[in-house]
Amino acid sequence: KQEVTQIPAALSVPEGENLVLNCSFTDSAIYNLQWFRQDPGKGLTSLLLIQSSQREQTSGRLNASLDKSSGRSTLYIAASQPGDSATYLCAVFYGGATNKLIFGTGTLLAVQP
């Protein structure tokens, strides 16, 4: 069964700290992987998309890495700010018969001022 897991479910850090969010997936035959941000009561905003042939993607203070062979991705946030507080969701796209995004349940991040 294709599953996506995010641990921890919640994380609290002081402002300015660098942090890493983790995502693991059971089936390594992915097409791509996306990281989303969700603010309370709101929809999802796409942060980064990594194709299966790529190892990482960067956008500003965010860096996402992908290791297909171990079934893992990390989202690195540098110099965290209170405005980074949100839920971060990882989603894996499987092609073929699955042909859809499979989402993790997210990590709720709180950055304390």
Partner 1 sequence: DVKVTQSSRYLVKRTGEKVFLECVQDMDHENMFWYRQDPGLGLRLIYFSYDVKMKEKGDIPEGYSVSREKKERFSLILESASTNQTSMYLCASSSGTSWSDTQYFGPGTRLTVL
The Cα–Cα gap between 13 and 11 comes to: 7
CA angle 12, 18, 20 (to 5 degrees): 70
User: With binding defined as CB under 8 A, does residue 45 bind partner 1?
Assistant: yes
| The two structure tokens encoding residue 77 | 């946030």
Report, in Å, the least distance between residue 80 CB and partner 1.
23
Among 11, 13, 19, 44, contact with partner 1 (rule: CB under 8 A): 44
Report, in Å, the least distance between residue 108 CB and partner 1.
11
Within its chain, how far is the Cα of 22 from the centroid?
7
Compose the 50-79 pattern: x for residues touching partner 1 by CB under 8 A, - for all others.
Answer: ------------------------------
